[in-house]
Amino acid sequence: MKIAHFSDPHLGAPTDDWTALFDKRWVGLFNYKFRRSYQHDPKYLEKAVQYILDNDFDAVVCTGDLTNTGQPNEFATVKKILQRLVDSDIPVIYTPGNHDCYVKRRHCVEAVRDMVSFFTRNDYTLDDLPVVRHIKGIDFIIFNNSRPTNLIFSGAWVTKKDSDRIEEICSQEKKFPRILVNHYPIIEDQPILRMRHRLYCQGRIEKLLKSRSIDLSICGHRHFYYTKCDDTGRGELCTGSVTKNALMSEIEFKDDKFTLKKIYLEN
């Protein structure tokens, strides 16, 4: 069982939508113009797609921040690049990031909903989450914590309803290894330093992860690659930004062990 994981491409675009001046998008657009557009190269998302198509994966997982400010024109750009994955027969799991759920404007909310349905080929909708999907001997628990927030906060929190649901899923007899998929890291070692960016109310999920009721959490949000795993590959993997680091992950599950491999997309 071989899984491809990429995250945080942050594809941005200028806007012709004047309403962006009146919500958080102007912050994101400013950020994009003066910082992110120099840091994130869309060609690495294209290379990731090509690598996945060329290398016989059983599943693809994307943990969000496909866009910079969650605008319809940004999603349209991303869709063009991801179309070949959607046209393939590889199962796709996608959960949005905070930048995909940037503001409450109706057309932006509709755009991220549409993206979930498009990328997963209508396998599930944003409103269906959390859901469990079984793919070739692995149970994926997919959930979403990304919602619009204020100007200075890019963190999120797990709702009680989602914690209840995930505990209920994990209380059932475990027949297969469980991989948790969401945008935010569950294990937080710097809660004070990262108070503006972290995931809150994740303690119950973290317990399930640390007791190995959940085997592996895969996420993004932080833009560099790191793992907090034991020698069986159980724990947490953050793959970082595909377009910033020219990097994606390959996760192989074999003989009760996860092998995590960095895939460099530079060449």
Which residues lie near Fe ion (CB under 5 A)? 8, 65, 97-98, 221
Q: Are 141 and 180 in contact (CB under 8 A)?
A: yes
Joined tokens for residue 93: 């799991």
Joined tokens for residue 51: 């690598």
- In the complex, the smallest distance separating the C-beta of residue 222 from Fe ion, rounded to whole angstroms, is 8
- In the complex, the smallest distance separating the C-beta of residue 233 from Fe ion, rounded to whole angstroms, is 24
Q: For helices 43-54 and 72-87, what crossing angle results, to 10°?
A: 20
CA-CA distance, 4 to 251, in Å (whole number)? 6
Task: Tell me which residue has its CB nearest to Fe ion.
Answer: 65
- In the complex, the smallest distance separating the C-beta of residue 6 from Fe ion, rounded to whole angstroms, is 12
- Of residues 91, 147, 138, 159, the one with CA closest to residue 119: 91
Q: Are 225 and 238 in contact (CB under 8 A)?
A: yes
- In the complex, the smallest distance separating the C-beta of residue 147 from Fe ion, rounded to whole angstroms, is 12
- Which CB atom, from 72 or from 96, has the smaller least distance to Fe ion? 96
- Which CB atom, from 138 or from 181, has the smaller least distance to Fe ion? 181
Q: For helices 203-210 and 160-171, what crossing angle results, to 10°?
A: 20
- In the complex, the smallest distance separating the C-beta of residue 99 from Fe ion, rounded to whole angstroms, is 6
- In the complex, the smallest distance separating the C-beta of residue 190 from Fe ion, rounded to whole angstroms, is 16
| Helical H segments across 40-144, by residue range | 43-54, 72-87, 106-119
CA-CA distance, 116 to 114, in Å (whole number)? 6
CA 42 from centroid of its chain's CA atoms? 17
Q: Are 28 and 15 in contact (CB under 8 A)?
A: no
- In the complex, the smallest distance separating the C-beta of residue 133 from Fe ion, rounded to whole angstroms, is 22
Radius of gyration of the chain from its Cα atoms, rounded to whole angstroms? 17
- Which CB atom, from 18 or from 151, has the smaller least distance to Fe ion? 151
